[in-house]
Amino acid sequence: MTPPRHSALVLAGLATLAFSLACLNEARTLARTVDPKPFSLLETVLGESRRLFANHFFIKADAYFHSGYYPTVFDNQEGYETAHIAADAGAAEEKNSGEELGFLGQPLDPFEAFSRRFFPSEHTHLDEGGADHESHDKGGSPGVGGDVREMLPWLKIAANLDPNRVETYTVTAFWLRDRLHRSQDAEDVIHDGLRNNPGDASLLFELGRIFFHDRKDFDRARNVFEAGINSWNKNESGTKEPNKFLALQLLSQLAELEEETGHYERSIHLWEQAKVFNPASPGPQIHIADLRAKLASPTTRPQ
Amino acid sequence: MNNVWAVSTVVMREMYRRKDFYVLLILTVLITLILGSVNFFNESNVVRYLKEVCLLLIWIASLVIAITTAARQIPAERESRTIFPLLAKPISRAEVLVGKFLGCWLASGVALVCFYLFFGVISAAREHGLPIGGYLQAVMLHWFMLAVIIALALLGSLVFAAPSSNNTICFVVVGGILLIGRHLHKIAIGKGGFSEAILTAVYYVIPQLGWFDVRERIVHDWPAIDALSFLVALAYALAYAAVLLFIACWIFRRKRLQ
């Protein structure tokens, strides 16, 4: 190979390398600016259908909560329209109307009657002992109803499949905090949710409950509840069907917090606001009367 | 009986020479172990999801082993023409068929024992306990259900032209019965008229394979089934398999093998 030809090849090689590096750099810059989300295998493989799977796994967690006693598409589902794990967590307003305990109804034939001996056909809840009706915690986390940990894998998978399904985070956080007494894990779950759904009012509500009930950090809890109310006003108040249940929850929790910290006047004001969202409920009025009585009494009046 | 036993031992030996069972077992073990290593909020005692996935894999593997093994028995003998020297011996066609059935069923049983032993080890390691009674019931019910499925596949191998079509039809029928068999009467009542009559008849005729699927009870730690119901289910499976085998023998006796 002659020297000029050798130099030309080296030059061509360097030019190719420079072009490749420029392409790589451009691709990286584009990836950073156009799509800041990290690469997700699930998103690539499943696309939008992953939301359907997420819902399936969320329902599966509810089926686990009932130790497998759960209606199929062929059964009467009226008693299970709202997942019980969500209703118990306060993450959704319960809209169940049908028979929860006996959705199977009377057996239609001897075969069906006999088949009920081979699958769970009795209503139970995991936090009340599950299938054998007595608490059989297997160690690990302290507290009653430790078996609710069995729901966690499905909830985590549901959150991974659909990071924008806020209910999954709030429900997971509730069971971690309330039954498994793992407020730090619950807080981490909520922060995950907030990273994927910035400023979501229901996530802020759940975070506020962690600070209020578990940490007793009233100042941070107050700030988070107020941020939640602001978020609700910004995103929900102008909509056709605002989530009144969430507004009621945020206002009631903040009102309770203000009562706990001795700010009775502010608490009364918040209960007044809460009353607007559920005029039929006597709860807010009872609290208001109670707080007014406390304010009137010289012994309980805050100094 | 000696003839039946001789045929069945050949079938069992053939099955353990093939790699299907080992591949399925290794796949089940690998998938279960990988899933078991996933950390969910540092909770080391979470076990039910693992039991559910492991049992699902065992069910799929057992159905694959039972259906594919049974479906290829007679067609393979005919294709390789070994059926003729076999029938030239002092053995009846019914004995050949029953021997094939017994071999497939026993081999599936041995495979099931291996699968459930692994399941038991995984379950005991996580739960620190082993409800032996419930697990034995699950294995037995599963095995007796396979008797019905093997008899069905053998019957199919005499009716359908190719093993592939028999395999497909068997998988669709068994999968369909397991998924909606239990609900067929409910669906029928909603239809009304002729459809209701047909669906109700189908509901009573098809094997009630749902009786043998106690996975939900095992996964969620429900107590064992009462002994009478358990024995009735086993007797039902044997009776159903016997009827299917009788029909298969009847067809086989009249079938031209050329």
> Cβ of B229 under 8 Å from any chain A Cβ?
yes
The CA distances from residue A64 to A169, A183, B69, in Å, are 17, 22, 35
Q: Which of A115, A150, A182 sits opposite B48 (nearest CB)?
A: A150
Contact B208, B178 (CB under 8 A): no
pLDDT band at A99 (very low <50, low <70, confident <90, very high): low
DSSP string, B99-157: HHHHHHHHHHHHHHHHHHHHHHHHHHHHHS---HHHHHHHHHHHHHHHHHHHHHHHHHH
Q: Which residue has the higher pLDDT, A16 or A35?
A: A16
CA–CA distance, A194 with A172 (Å, rounded to integer): 14
pTM summary value:
0.83
Q: Token pair for residue A102?
A: 């006996």
Q: Which residues of chain B neighbour A75 with C-beta distances below 8 Å?
A: 186
At A175-188, the pLDDT tens digits run 999 888 899 999 99
Other residues' Cβ atoms within 10 Å of the Cβ of residue B88: 8
CB contact under 8 A, B225 and A117: yes
Counting one residue from chain A and one from chain B, the pairs whose CB atoms sit within 8 A come to 100
Best of A58, A66, A75, A117 to disrupt the B interface (most B CBs within 10 Å) is A117
> Cβ of B225 under 8 Å from any chain A Cβ?
yes
Q: Which residues of chain B neighbour A112 with C-beta distances below 8 Å?
A: 182, 185
Q: Which of B49, B185, B213 sits opposite A109 (nearest CB)?
A: B185
CB contact under 8 A, A182 and B41: yes
Q: Which residues of chain A neighbour B38 with C-beta distances below 8 Å?
A: 153
Burial status of residue B79 (CB atoms within 10 A of its CB: 0-12, 13-18, 19 or more): exposed
Q: At what angle do helices A244-260 and A218-235 cross, to 10 degrees?
A: 160
At A219-267, the pLDDT tens digits run 999 999 999 999 988 888 778 888 888 888 999 999 999 988 888 888 8
Q: Which of B46, B210, B219 sits opposite A68 (nearest CB)?
A: B219
Residue-level pLDDT at B258: 66
Contact B184, B202 (CB under 8 A): yes
CA A14 to chain centre: 54
pLDDT band at A134 (very low <50, low <70, confident <90, very high): very low
Closest-CA residue to B154 (of B240, B85, B86, B69): B69
B89 CB-near residues (< 8 Å, 6+ apart): none
CB contact under 8 A, A118 and B233: yes
CA B178 to chain centre: 11
Question: Across chain A, what does the average pLDDT equal?
Answer: 82
CB contact under 8 A, A141 and B43: yes
CB contact under 8 A, A112 and B182: yes
The values of phi and psi at residue B220, to 5°, are -100, 20
Residues of A with CB under 8 A from a CB of B: 64, 67-68, 72, 74-75, 108-109, 111-112, 114-115, 117-120, 130-132, 136, 138-141, 146, 149-150, 152-154, 156, 176, 180, 182, 185
pLDDT band at A200 (very low <50, low <70, confident <90, very high): very high
Quick one: DSSP state of residue A70? -
CA–CA distance, A294 with B209 (Å, rounded to integer): 66
Q: Which of A115, A131, A156 sits opposite B222 (nearest CB)?
A: A131
For range B194-213, the mean pLDDT: 93
CA–CA distance, B62 with B147 (Å, rounded to integer): 11
CA A150 to chain centre: 17
Query: How far does A176 lie from chain B, in Å, by closest CA?
Result: 9
CB contact under 8 A, A114 and B183: no
> Cβ of B125 under 8 Å from any chain A Cβ?
no
At B169-190, the pLDDT tens digits run 999 999 999 999 999 998 898 7
Q: Which of A109, A120, A138 sits opposite B216 (nearest CB)?
A: A120
Q: Which of B47, B183, B226 sits opposite A74 (nearest CB)?
A: B183
CA A42 to chain centre: 21
For range A6-15, the mean pLDDT: 83
For range A276-296, the mean pLDDT: 81
Residue-level pLDDT at A228: 93
pLDDT band at B20 (very low <50, low <70, confident <90, very high): confident
Give B 175-204 residues with CB within 8 A of chain A.
Answer: 180, 182-183, 185-187, 189, 203-204
Q: Which of A72, A109, A119 sits opposite B217 (nearest CB)?
A: A119
Residue-level pLDDT at A135: 43
Q: Which of A74, A131, A182 sits opposite B186 (nearest CB)?
A: A74
CA A260 to chain centre: 26
CB contact under 8 A, A153 and B49: yes
In chain A, what percentage of residues exceed pLDDT 90?
35
Residue with the two structure tokens 């008693």: A79
At A48-88, the pLDDT tens digits run 888 899 999 999 999 999 999 988 888 877 777 788 888 88
Query: How far does A187 lie from chain B, in Å, by closest CA?
Result: 12
At A21-51, the pLDDT tens digits run 887 777 676 666 555 566 667 777 778 888 8
